[in-house]
Amino acid sequence: MKKLFLLPACLVTFTSFVACAQTMPFGSVAEQDYGTNLWRVLETAKLVGEDKIMAWPYEGNPPHGDKLVTLESRITVNGQTGPVLVKHNYGPDVSLEEVSNNPAGSLVATTVMFKRQGYDSDNRDWFFAKYLPDASYDVAPDGSTPLVGSPTGCVTCHSNAPGSDMVFLNNKY
């Protein structure tokens, strides 16, 4: 009798774990709406868009791009203030000089990490988004799911960052 009781309990636990892993926020309408608000705030702060702040580009690597520009700031989205990292991804086969002289001409995507308290404690409350140059969302390999929220690729890679904050540039969050 005990064996029959334990087996269903294990299956329920395993099923619950799988269900939780599959319902992680990623690409939902709510996440897209939040990401749209995030983009507007970033644009107002001049961290994205035509009038964005331009910093010195540096050599990049996959998955972000050949050349990168990273900006770090604090912003407020929907009444919540937190750190944000904005990475402008340039390429392919573009020089640092070309990026400096014509950033819009070689921009491939903009990736963003915003620390959103209470959002996703398993992933240090980071909200991720990958925007194309026209401010629309890039999509997952399935061809339709927007890369906004906690995209698996972002979370998996950033989980390997040194330190404990999922950030490669520093360990202060």
Q: Is residue 107 part of a domain?
A: yes
Q: Lowest mean pLDDT: which of 53-57, 62-66, 81-85, 136-140? A: 62-66
Please name the residue ranges forming H helices in the chain.
2-22, 29-44, 96-101, 103-106, 152-158
Of 1-5, 18-22, 67-71, which one has max mean pLDDT?
67-71
Q: Is residue 12 part of a domain?
A: no
Look up the domain containing 100 and give its range: 26-158
CA 119 to chain centre: 13
136: pLDDT strictly greater than 80: yes
pLDDT class for 149, splitting at 50, 70, 90? very high
Q: Is residue 6 part of a domain?
A: no
2: pLDDT strictly greater than 90: no
> What CA–CA distances, in Å, run from 21 to 14, 24, 26, 160?
11, 6, 11, 18
> What CA–CA distances, in Å, run from 158 to 51, 112, 153?
29, 12, 8
Computed over every residue of the chain, the mean pLDDT equals 87
Residues 3, 97: Cα–Cα separation, whole Å: 68
17: pLDDT strictly greater than 60: no
- Condensed to tens digits (0 to 9), the pLDDT of residues 33-72 reads 999 999 999 999 999 999 999 999 999 988 898 999 999 9
Cα–Cα nearest to 77, from 117, 27, 130, 28 = 117
Cα angle value 163/45/91 (rounded, 5°): 65
Count of the separate structural domains present in the chain: 1
pLDDT class for 22, splitting at 50, 70, 90? very low
Is pLDDT larger for residue 103 or for residue 14? 103
Q: Is residue 163 part of a domain?
A: no
- Condensed to tens digits (0 to 9), the pLDDT of residues 88-97 reads 999 999 999 9
Q: Is residue 135 part of a domain?
A: yes
pTM: 0.84
Mean pLDDT in residue range 72-97: 96
Residue 20: what residue type?
C
Residues 116, 127: Cα–Cα separation, whole Å: 6
Q: Is residue 126 part of a domain?
A: yes
Q: Is residue 167 part of a domain?
A: no
